[in-house]
Amino acid sequence: MTEIFAYTDGACSGNPGPGGWGALLVAVRDGARVKERELSGGEPATTNNRMELMAAIQALEALGRPAKVTVVTDSAYVKGGITSWMKGWKRNGWKTASRQPVKNEDLWRRLDAAQARHDVTWKWVKGHAGHPENERADALARAGMAPFKPQGADKPPRPARARRPRKPAGASGG
């Protein structure tokens, strides 16, 4: 049987700000990779949490038929929401335990519908810790964000030129 691993990540420059999402889909059969697919996209004004959610949504929605899927995310927000908090939100009419509206409800509902088609296992990994597939998903997320960032936004600011102190008027050098 083929199993799908979906490595997902989101990125945001500012929070809110321009953002991107990325997903690496890897099909594994009999312990060997048989196919890979990369997905990415972005938005001009969003948050990191929305991009993390969108990465998982897009990964699951990209699968043409129901599958056994392991979604690997570095977002405790996504994993906690989908595996723990969502049951309570639904029971409370999409309100938190403190009766506040659930943030990003539109995307949580979409993720819930996307995962319902599949047999999904959710796995959290530490971000930026050298996990190759997670690093690839991060690169895809940054690439998805790139078209929405102002030109040169990734370049560090130019250092100010050092100036010599000016001599006060009337000072003599001697």
Could you list the residues known to form a binding site for Mg(2+), using ranges: 9, 52, 74, 138
Burial tier of 100 (Cβ tally within 10 Å: 0-12, 13-18, 19+): exposed
Distance CA 54, CA 111 (A): 8
- Please list the residues that pair with 124 across neighbouring strands: 73
Distance CA 20, CA 43 (A): 6
Q: Where are the alpha helices (DSSP H) in 31-152?
A: 48-61, 76-80, 86-91, 105-116, 132-145
CA contacts within 13 A on the Cβ side of 136:
13
Which of 75, 57, 74, 77 lies closest to 120, judged by CA?
57
Catalytic positions, written as ranges = 9-10, 52, 74, 128, 138
Binding residues: 9, 52, 74, 138
Burial tier of 107 (Cβ tally within 10 Å: 0-12, 13-18, 19+): buried
> Reduced to 3 states, what is the DSSP secondary structure of residue 174?
coil
